[in-house]
Amino acid sequence: MLLKDKVVIITGAASERGLGRATAKLFAENGAKIVIADLNEQASVNAANALPGEGHMGVAVNVADEQQVQAAKEKILAKYGRIDSLVNYAGITQPLKVMDIKAENYDAVLNVSLRGTLLMSQAVIPTMRQQKSGSIICISSVSAQRGGGIFGGPHYSAAKAGVLGLARAMARELGADNIRVNAITPGLIQTDITQGKLSDEQTAQIIAGIPLARLGNAIDIAGAALFLASDLSSYSTGITLDVNGGMLIH
Ligand code: NAD
């Protein structure tokens, strides 16, 4: 039980095959009280109810909307009175070439991943500061490190590179309050984020470049998140944990 009675907010965790959902399940199995924070209230509540153990919660929140984020935080604090960890999974991607990126594409992708990570972090930091403890996990992507070329367009790579910078700078600023901030850079993981738009041929090409010779599974990322949320990583902050099957070794 690595997270016994810890209160953990996981954004973007309603998606059934998603990374957030797998993380929520693993964390709940490790004793955590989970807040599923996703766009649709019913989907969030259903996901929370499906978790092992008791005392979980589902809230509706658009992470890119400051008012909604603050309202969700109030609900969470009213129920639990503390927040031990935040995992920022909410994100979207779009397979666009650079000249096809319109302002609305840029805003959509950057707002969820980058603004959302900032707003959610700002929402939990005061409570973590009072507690003098907390772990914030930011979800970047191998696309940020290798310059895309997998599925998302350049605006996705930029958003996820921004997340890395944000995580590292927050780690530096918040260390004195014993708040750790770390990032995970997943490779290509089998979820619904690509919306069936990745062809078998593209998938085979990607696998050919992966030393472990397979795509990732959501549980592969959940395990990395468990390490970062728990005391197993008590002396790690500002790190980037690559979970990509060796797709990028640097
Ligand atoms: P997913 O599409 O299964 O889940 C994403 C979730 O985010 C959905 O439940 C969606 O409703 C939610 N969401 C979207 N916009 C939101 C908003 N504004 N506010 C709150 N919730 C919102 O995707 P996934 O594959 O589980 O991806 C999770 C994260 O991991 C994303 O940030 C993604 O960019 C990142 N990532 C995924 C992969 C991969 O290969 N699957 C690789 C690298 C990084």
Measured in Å, residue 222 CA sits from the centre of ligand 1 at: 13
pLDDT digits (tens, 9 = 90+) for 106-123: 999 999 999 999 999 999
Check pocket membership of 14 for ligand 1, CB cut-off 6 A.
yes
How many Å apart are CA 245 and CA 102, to the nearest integer? 33
Q: How confident is the model at residue 47 (pLDDT cuts 50, 70, 90)?
A: very high
Closest CA relative to residue 213, chosen from 248, 246, 249: 246
Q: How confident is the model at residue 99 (pLDDT cuts 50, 70, 90)?
A: very high
pLDDT score of 227:
98
Question: Would you list the DSSP string of 150-169?
Answer: SSS-HHHHHHHHHHHHHHHH
Mean pLDDT of 66-92: 98
How many Å apart are CA 107 and CA 25, to the nearest integer? 31
How many Å apart are CA 106 and CA 154, to the nearest integer? 9
Q: What share of the chain is helix, strand, coil (3-state, %, to 5)?
A: 50, 15, 35
Check pocket membership of 38 for ligand 1, CB cut-off 6 A.
yes
Q: How confident is the model at residue 150 (pLDDT cuts 50, 70, 90)?
A: confident
pLDDT score of 41:
98
- Bigger pLDDT: 62 vs 200: 62
pLDDT score of 225:
99
Helices 218-229 and 19-29: crossing angle, nearest 10°? 50
Ligand 1, atom 29, residue with closest C-alpha: 89
Check pLDDT > 80 for residue 235. yes
Ligand 1, atom 3, residue with closest C-alpha: 18
Mean pLDDT of 46-57: 98
pLDDT score of 153:
97
Check pocket membership of 141 for ligand 1, CB cut-off 6 A.
yes
Q: How confident is the model at residue 196 (pLDDT cuts 50, 70, 90)?
A: confident
Measured in Å, residue 129 CA sits from the centre of ligand 1 at: 27
Atom of ligand 1 nearest to the CA of 195: 2
Check pocket membership of 185 for ligand 1, CB cut-off 6 A.
no
Check pocket membership of 123 for ligand 1, CB cut-off 6 A.
no
Ligand 1, atom 19, residue with closest C-alpha: 62
Mean pLDDT of 127-143: 98
Could you tell me if 219 and 21 are in contact, meaning their C-beta atoms sit under 8 angstroms apart? Answer: no
Other CB atoms within 10 Å distance of the CB of residue 236: 15
pLDDT score of 193:
84
Measured in Å, residue 186 CA sits from the centre of ligand 1 at: 12
Q: How confident is the model at residue 129 (pLDDT cuts 50, 70, 90)?
A: very high
Check pLDDT > 90 for residue 69. yes
Atom of ligand 1 nearest to the CA of 156: 34
Question: Would you list the DSSP string of 33-87?
Answer: EEEEEES-HHHHHHHHHTSSSS--EEEE--TT-HHHHHHHHHHHHHHHS---EEE
pLDDT score of 195:
77
Domains in the chain, CATH or no CATH each: 7-243 (3.40.50.720)
Residues assigned a catalytic role: 156
Q: pTM for this one? A: 0.98
Measured in Å, residue 18 CA sits from the centre of ligand 1 at: 7
Could you tell me if 229 and 24 are in contact, meaning their C-beta atoms sit under 8 angstroms apart? Answer: no
Check pocket membership of 152 for ligand 1, CB cut-off 6 A.
no
pLDDT score of 149:
83
One-letter identity of residue 227: F
